Amino acid sequence: MAHRTTTSAVSPLTLRPMVLALAMALGHAGSALAADADAEPAMQVVTITGAADDSSYTVRRSDSASKLDLSLRETPQSVSVITRAMMDDFKLDNAGAVLARATGVTIEQVETDRSYYTARGFDIVNFLYDGTGLPLVFGLTVGDMDTAIYDRVDIVRGANGLMTSTGNPSATVNFIRKRPTRNTQASASVTLGSWNKRRVEGDVSTALNDSGSVTARVVAVREEKDSYLDRYAPKKTVLHAVVEARLDAATVLTAGHSFQDNDGKGTMWGALPLFYTDGSPTTYPRSTSTSADWSQWNTRTHSTFAELEHRFDSGWSTKATATYNTSGADSKLFYVYGTPDKATGGGLFAYPSIYNSDNKQTLVDLSASGKFTLAGREHDLSLGLNWSRSTLHDVSLYGRGIGTELTYQTAFGGAFPEPAFDASTDGSQYEDKRRSAYLATRLNLADNTKLLAGINSTKADSSGVAYGESQYKSASKSTPYLGLVVDLGRDVSAYASHTRIFNPQNQVDINGHTLDPVVGKSSELGVKAELFNNKLNLSGAVFKVQQDNAAEQAGYVGAKAYYQGISAESKGYELETSGELARNWQASAGLTRMSISGNEGQDIKTYLPRTTLRTATTYRLPATPVTVGANLNWQSDIRYNQGGGISTRQSSYAVLGLMARYQIDKHLSLALNLNNVTDKRYLTSLYWSQGYYAAPRNASATLAWAL
């Protein structure tokens, strides 16, 4: 919708009665919430990991919340999972597309190549890879991160300081890499789609010796396409290689390297102005872009990791992981600022710049987990240490012509001539170090009662200069965690969890000074069930988060945003189901409702939807080689206060996708995917004062082969 401005074997379908009742309840709740968008808060969902069959939309176990291998029902936090099956069914080829399917997560696509992710009212900054990682020290994500190299993505909502060193209350995203297999496996696919999309993908895994003790896996992707946006034509190349060696029966050494290169021709820096000087909304075509003919934003990322794991006869295991990441960017960008005059066409101005960056991150993580006996009962224990160092060196070379008033053609037609970039120079030389230790135990208080208790102690230090301002800061804090799970029956549990929040920030205020760390607390109550031999997971939860000094954008100095620290409280509830509803019928559905208030109880962060619904389902038709499916994303309306009594509003909207796959023979299949079926027109985000429109209706066809 437009925004507006105001002053396998196939068997017959047998629906299980309990699932039908849940579906009816979800449907009723969704209708009520959609009818009353200003009612109660939303609930948040989390993703978890574990073993599942190749077609499943859920997993049985995950250690993403505590490094203890627990089922989802045993984990006292909201956990969601986006499996490989769902990624393949709906062609979720990048991180944004994957996270847009997760309960309670919103994707703030502020530009063509930069995104923020949010959950429970706050930015997601904690990203793990196979359970280890560090926060996005330097801000938002840049580039189109491909998901071909991952088996699944786990999202643990709520503060997760045990795993990440910082208790950010939004969510922790854990990307689980593809690993080698002893049996030879191979697959390849070719995708052709709208706007001249061409994607080739290959995946091979095999043993390298006769005994199978050394195995390897390689994944490669090449994608090129044009776009519905004028002048935008991104390309990417992805390579992932992993070798796994079993040194003996109890010891495994794994080493791998991932590489991705993004070539972003015609990239937007900033987006479209959303209102005219008279306060009325702008009405640009969906293809409108502020990029110049010479605009580009190229990024490259490398990640190298080594992991040594040993399992002792006592049942204990230890793991040591070392990771080295590098990322760089070189760009020529054109930013358009100002407020257009509807009558004269003036009011917009130029801001050309070159931006180059070099970011390096080193992470070492040591952990151990196992069982111990106390008071005649067996309990679980997990402990670990991690250390990280991140450095950023970037430079901005500002072009001649900053402040030049633009015509429509030079603002939106790409015609602004490429200037010499020698007007002035600025940049950053910045270092961040973090050290943390954690301890978590799962106490078996009774046959039906388990207590998960832990503490994380973190010290964060930063130094350097960013655009003329000192970035020195030093902060440390210990944050406790408590979670109680009570079995109400063989398959149903109730849980409660509480944790403190400590999260150093990188955002700066109007004077360029880094904001103090966020502090606060997060609490959650819920019920979980695992049904039909753990093939279906159900959950419902209520949550409350209180934060002090949370960063919120307050304005711009030129093209640079500045922030202010605010007190914020979010609370809400969520419902989620994922897994097998009936034979050959997979589904995932999540409903979230929340409210967010500020220092004096006022509604804040209005750019975030208060209600979201995420659904996806596939069904293999009886006695046929045909699988059909659909997904639906719905969100309530959002708005952005532009100042001066002007507010930009994006109405509530739903986006529908369809898929169909025909299994030609044992090895070959043909799939068709149709996105935004109803051709909805809507803004991708109101996180900033500018915005642009999402893709119109589009389609793709994929021919896939598997050994």
Could you state, in order of their start, the residue ranges of all structural domains in the chain? 3-706
Q: Which residue, chain included where needed, has tokens 């159900």? A: 538
Residue with the two structure tokens 């979201």: 612
Q: What is the pTM of this model?
A: 0.88
- How far apart CA 684 and CA 111 sit, in angstroms, is 9
Q: Are 539 and 527 in contact (CB under 8 A)?
A: yes
The Cα 623–Cα 365 span in angstroms is: 50
579 CB contacts (<8 Å, ≥6 apart)?
Answer: 56, 57, 58, 532, 535, 536, 537, 586, 587, 588
Top CATH class of 3-706 equals mainly beta
Q: CA–CA separation, 481 vs 501, rounded Å?
A: 10
Judge whether residue 553 has pLDDT over 80.
Answer: no
Which of 368, 499, 528, 378 minimizes the C-alpha distance to 443?
378
Which residues are registered as beta bridge partners of 622?
Answer: none
Per-residue pLDDT at 372: 95
Q: Name the residue with higher pLDDT: 158 or 224.
A: 224
pLDDT recorded at residue 36: 38
Across 1-10, 497-506, 566-575, 592-601, least confident range: 1-10
Amino acid at residue number 499: T
Residue that wins the pLDDT comparison between 172 and 672: 672
465 alpha carbon, distance to own chain's centre:
29
Question: Mean pLDDT lowest for which of 22-36, 466-480, 590-604?
Answer: 22-36
pLDDT of the residue at 474: 84
Q: Which two tokens stand for residue 237?
A: 């190349």
Give the integer Cα–Cα distance in Å for 71 and 134: 24
Distance CA 111, CA 377 (A): 54
| Residues facing 237 on adjacent strands | 222, 261
Task: Give the span between the Cα atoms of 97 and 90, in whole angstroms.
Answer: 9
Of the candidates 66, 110, 61, the residue with the CA atom closest to the CA atom of residue 81: 61
* Neighbour order of strands in the sheet with 132-135: 79-83, 150-157, 171-177, 126-129, 132-135
pLDDT-derived band at 589, boundaries 50, 70, 90: very high
pLDDT at 208: 96
Q: Give 402-449 pLDDT, tens digit per residue.
A: 999 999 999 999 999 999 999 999 999 989 898 999 898 999 999 999
Categorize the per-residue pLDDT at 160 as very low, low, confident or very high, splitting at 50, 70 and 90: low
Give the least confident one: 108-112, 134-138, 249-253: 134-138
**% of the chain beyond a pLDDT of 90:** 70
Nearest to 82 by CA among 114, 60, 49, 51: 49
Residue 53 has pLDDT above 90, yes or no: no
Q: Minimal CA–CA distance to 5: which of 363, 316, 367, 281?
A: 281
- Over range 291-301, report the average pLDDT: 96
Instruction: Provide the 8-state DSSP code for 652.
Output: -
